[in-house]
Amino acid sequence: MSHRQGLFLNFDIKTQPDEVACGPTCLHALYEFYKDPISLKEVVQEVKQLKNGGTLGVMLGNHALKRGYKVHIYTYNLTVFDPT
């Protein structure tokens, strides 16, 4: 039996500033891992949010693309991926 070895990144996720900023907070942890100088406050302000709060993966991916990262997003529900 064979098994795949996973990639594990050792990074620190800060406490999210509110109940709807979990996505931007995790994205910020990746930015810090790669020594990208942007504050958590900036990430939370810049990532588009849904009207009732929260973010979608596509919003996080778009932010990372704008900062020059290569992004892959996998979805099983197109409506959740892009609600427009």
Question: How many domains does the chain fold into?
Answer: 1
**Residue 37 forms part of a structural domain:** yes
Q: When comparing pLDDT for 24 and 9, which is higher?
A: 24
pLDDT tens per residue, range 12-69: 999 999 999 999 999 999 999 999 999 999 999 999 998 888 898 889 999 999 999 9
- 46 within some domain: yes
Say what the pLDDT of residue 79 is.
73
Whether 2 maps to a domain, the answer reads no
Q: What is the model's pTM?
A: 0.82
In a domain, 7, yes or no: no
Domain assignment present for residue 71? The answer is yes
> Quick check: is 74 in a domain?
yes
Question: What's at 75, amino acid-wise?
Answer: T
pLDDT of residue 26: 96
Q: Is residue 14 part of a domain?
A: no
Domain extent at residue 67: 22-81
